[in-house]
Amino acid sequence: FVERIYSEIKNSSEDSSNLAVVSFGIQKWKEIKNTFGNHSADLFLRFIGKRLSDLGNNFLILSRSGEGEFSLLYRTNPNAISEVETKVAEILSGFKEALPIAGAEIYIHLNAGISFFPKDGNSSEQLLWKAETALHGSIASGNDFGFFTPEQNDRLKEKLTFEKELRDAVAKNEFTVLYQPKVDLQSGRLIGMEALVRWNHPSLGVVSPLQFIPLAEETGLIIELGELVLRRACIDLQNWKKKGNPGFLVSVNLSPIQFRKKFLTETILNILKETDTKPEELELEITESALAGDPVSTLEVLNSLHKARITLSLDDFGTGFSSLSFLSQYPLHTLKIDQSFIRGLGVDSTNESIVKTILALAQSLNLNTIAEGIESEDQRDLLKAQGCGMGQGFLFSKPLPIQDLEDFVKRNAPATLDS
């Protein structure tokens, strides 16, 4: 592809025509690949390439240019930006419906970035790099496609700097683990705690996981970071017990990237052994998207964790790919109702109906239930009346350092939780 661009640059210089390099990228490609496996992902990319070829007629060459990315080369008339813009919009409109992969159908979001010769560069490398920069700029801005601008280059540099700082932070363990209490809604008892990671950035201060977890997943750093969080949570739990506090179930989030990692169960059991933590003391919170894809391998992983006596919770339930068939098939213990449904309780009848349906479904499958994001007594009372077993949220406590959680339990828990 690079050589073809070089050749066309030479031809364009001779006849005063322009070139447009268009880079296409599939959003959340790594998540799709991890969900459905390498073989299915490769077949899916071939399908995408064929559709791009069919839709993008009159192009000079089409090439796969990266992870879930393709590049097209067009010859254009001078100042024909609108012509290229129209063509790219037509191509993207051909990817609006669900597409087949591994016996299932999924929706993808395709973005595009565009660079021009000679406006944006005089070499193959410059044009490709600037088209890819424009692609990432369109994703960041929420647009379907965009043209290269110097500002995008600045934002890309900022992202690369942030990525380097994140890598350094993982190596230096600049992270703190906070714990949010989980309570029994019927009795008010504290029954567990969820481990939540925060980044203590040397210059930015405390960085929210919403800012760095997506980048950690994109770069694969989530594997090492996840192990750091699990190890810290286990150590904190054991130190908590050594001080005479009662033992609780500690919940740790497992990213879809971690879930697809080879030898996952072995890695977790090794950390439990290192920290003298019993498997029964650990709960793994797994998102619905992590369970989508190959049902055979998914069942194998879940069964191995279940056999190891680790509790399994389905996180953010109601926002993903769940079906009755897999809920009854997989060895899950708990459904965690997403906070987006909890916010509307007492205000939105649709949300109330959804929550009632989830609770009835969980009861029919003999699964425990926990509602996250409870912020008001009215929400708590509605959930309690409908038979929800557990809850967490700012009504009870914000996430706390382990030492403050001890104070919360000893001094404030009885009055706060039973109110």
**DSSP one-letter code for 199:** E
Say if CB 180 and CB 371 are below 8 A apart.
no
The two structure tokens encoding residue 317: 């339930």
- Could you tell me the pTM of the whole model? 0.73
pLDDT at 121: 85
pLDDT band at 419; cut points 50, 70, 90: very low
Say if CB 266 and CB 308 are below 8 A apart.
no
pLDDT at 293: 63
Neighbours of 337 (CB within 10 A): 27
pLDDT at 417: 40
Say if CB 275 and CB 311 are below 8 A apart.
no
Please tell me the distance from the alpha carbon of residue 316 to that of residue 310, in angstroms, as a whole number: 19
Q: Is 375 one of the catalytic residues?
A: no
pLDDT of 171 above 60: yes
The two structure tokens encoding residue 75: 């010859």
User: Hey, what's the torsion of the CAs at 113, 117, 120, 121, to 10 degrees?
Assistant: 120
pLDDT band at 386; cut points 50, 70, 90: very high
Do domains 2-148 and 162-417 share one topology? The answer is: no
pLDDT at 294: 67
* For the chain, the helix, strand and coil percentages under 3-state DSSP, each to the nearest 5: 50, 25, 25
End-to-end CA distance of the chain: give it in Å, rounded: 67
Which of 8, 69, 132, 372 does the annotation list as catalytic? Answer: 372
CB neighbours of 58 closer than 8 A, spacing ≥ 6?
74
Neighbours of 187 (CB within 10 A): 10
Average pLDDT on 117-130 reads: 88
pLDDT at 119: 86
Neighbours of 195 (CB within 10 A): 23
Q: What is the pLDDT of residues 89-110, one digit of tens each?
A: 999 999 989 899 988 888 899 9
Whether CATH 3.30.70.270 fits 2-148:
yes
pLDDT band at 5; cut points 50, 70, 90: confident
pLDDT at 173: 94
pLDDT of 318 above 70: no
pLDDT at 226: 97
pLDDT at 320: 56
Q: What is the pLDDT of residues 240-273, one digit of tens each?
A: 999 888 888 999 999 988 988 889 999 999 999 9
162-417 folds as: TIM Barrel (3.20.20)
Q: Domain ranges in the chain?
A: 2-148, 162-417
Please tell me the distance from the alpha carbon of residue 21 to that of residue 12, in angstroms, as a whole number: 13
